[in-house]
Amino acid sequence: MERNSSNTKVIKTCPGYNTVSLMEMIQYLYDNYGVNTPEELEENDKRMREAYDPTKTIENLFEEIGEGVEYAEAGITTNNDKQILLRTYLLVRNTGMYNYACREWSIEDISEQNF
């Protein structure tokens, strides 16, 4: 295997990338795709607060919230479990379709085990 001027191995199996080292490729991907801007994190937060469509399955809501949480964590923004569960609870309650079930829960009852 050949080495480039910085003495790193050169990938020979990807046509068009014969002169690009793995480290250069990783750096390029990080520089162009690896950093979430504050604006992107704010948009993610807005998506996580969009009204839940009760015609979709609850699993769909959980998946959307989970993806939003992962995106935020990749951007070095964190929400604690209580915040995430409270946000999800409010999205469900605001549909107006689950009023009875939502009334039975109190804020103190909102936990992963009870939700």
Q: Does residue 7 register a pLDDT over 90?
A: no
- pTM reported for the whole predicted model: 0.61
Residue with the larger pLDDT of the pair 79 and 60: 60
The H-assigned helical ranges of 1-115 are 22-33, 38-49, 58-74, 81-93, 99-104
Q: Does residue 46 register a pLDDT over 90?
A: yes
- Yes or no: say if 7 and 14 are a contact pair by the CB < 8 Å rule: no
